[in-house]
Amino acid sequence: MFEFLINPKKAERRPWEMIIIGFFYAALAVFVCDFLFMNNPVFEKHISILIVCFTVFFSIPFVFYLIKFEENKGTKIKSERRLFKEHGKALLSLIFLFLGYVLAFSILYVTMPPDYTQINFKIQAETYCQINSFDIDGCVNNAFSSLGAKSDLLSGEAINRAVAFKDGMSRVAMILTNNFYVFLFTLLFSFLFGAGAIFILAWNGSVIATAIGIYGNGLLHGVPSGFLRYMVHGLPEISAYFVVALAGGIISTAIIKHEFGGGKFLKILQDALDLIIVGLLILIISAFMEVFLTPILI
């Protein structure tokens, strides 16, 4: 059913609609997991990761057909400039899909009962605290116990401490090292499983949404400021992952179709390599934005 909600051609004509689709997929994943697994003594401990998995299940049909659609473009379009323009349409669709994830998860984080929020976003909060705080257990406890209340930790103390931990170029190098690993995993997942890279992207969306909820003190009116803070550098960073996911998926689809002969496969490889290089450049720019631009704006 889900693959018929919206197709790649329609998504590229009206990419903003993917926000609605992404929001629907993410929200549906939360409600389905809570309905199926809440109060189950075994699965309840893992609902936060199951939510990401169900979001991926709902999204894979669309992403698979989108990648297949882009691979066909690579064999038919000769002009590099026009090909990049066409890939840009697909990239925009994926970005809006991701934004839908983030909006749904962040709104649910701050509007659901605290007990549900703690179960639904437990691993995401631990991941956020591992990055931004030396006291991980204390950070997690404060994140959930202070939902809807003012907290020094949630108002940005942990973020400021993390920024002060390493400044300038050393901070950029640390961020790039972490992001480069995600970049490689995204390429590998998309190559091995076609649309499999959507798992990494859905996971990042849930972590960013949790960070937005924590930054906004678990309050609904704090979501816009948190969204702005993390999207300033987050959108370019996620765009880099989507670009490399397209590259890996294009190669994967070409191999599945046994397009090894002649210049057709070489053309696809060249197209994918160009996308990988562009993705790396965007990733580097986003790291500098995170260190030097975001703290100024927010």
- Burial degree of 210 (CB within 10 A; 0-12, 13-18, 19+): buried
- Centre a 10 Å sphere on the Cβ of residue 276 and count the other Cβ atoms it contains: 18
149: confidence class by pLDDT, cuts 50, 70, 90? low
Q: Which of 80-84, 116-120, 143-147, 211-215 has the highest mean pLDDT?
A: 116-120
For 119-141, what is the mean pLDDT? 79
d(CA 103, CA 99): 6
C-alpha closest to that of 121 among 193, 184, 208: 208
What per-residue confidence (pLDDT) applies to 266? Answer: 80
Residue 150 has pLDDT above 50, yes or no: no
Sequence-distant (≥ 6) Cβ neighbours of residue 73 within 8 angstroms: 83, 86, 87
Structure-token pair, residue 24: 């629907």
Report the Cα 167 to chain-centroid distance in Å: 25
Q: In this predicted model, which residue has the larger pLDDT, 212 or 129?
A: 212
Q: Which pTM value belongs to this model?
A: 0.81
* Residues 218 and 162: beta-carbon distance below 8 Å: no
d(CA 212, CA 225): 8
The number of domains in the chain is 1
Question: CA-CA distances (angstroms) from residue 117 to 10, 126, 140, 181, 293?
Answer: 34, 13, 12, 29, 31
Residue 154 has pLDDT above 50, yes or no: no
What per-residue confidence (pLDDT) applies to 106? Answer: 94
> Residue 185 sits in which domain range?
2-297
For 109-120, what is the mean pLDDT? 92
Ranges 65-79, 93-107, 116-130, 190-204: which has the least confidence: 65-79
Sequence-distant (≥ 6) Cβ neighbours of residue 71 within 8 angstroms: 249, 250, 253, 254, 257, 268
d(CA 154, CA 110): 13
C-alpha closest to that of 206 among 267, 121, 137: 121
* Residues 98 and 277: beta-carbon distance below 8 Å: no
- Burial degree of 216 (CB within 10 A; 0-12, 13-18, 19+): buried
d(CA 282, CA 238): 9
| Per-residue model confidence as pLDDT tens digits over 224-279 | 888 888 888 888 999 999 889 888 888 877 777 666 665 677 877 888 898 899 99
| Per-residue model confidence as pLDDT tens digits over 173-228 | 888 988 898 899 889 888 887 667 788 889 999 999 998 988 877 778 888 888 88
Residue 41 has pLDDT above 70, yes or no: yes
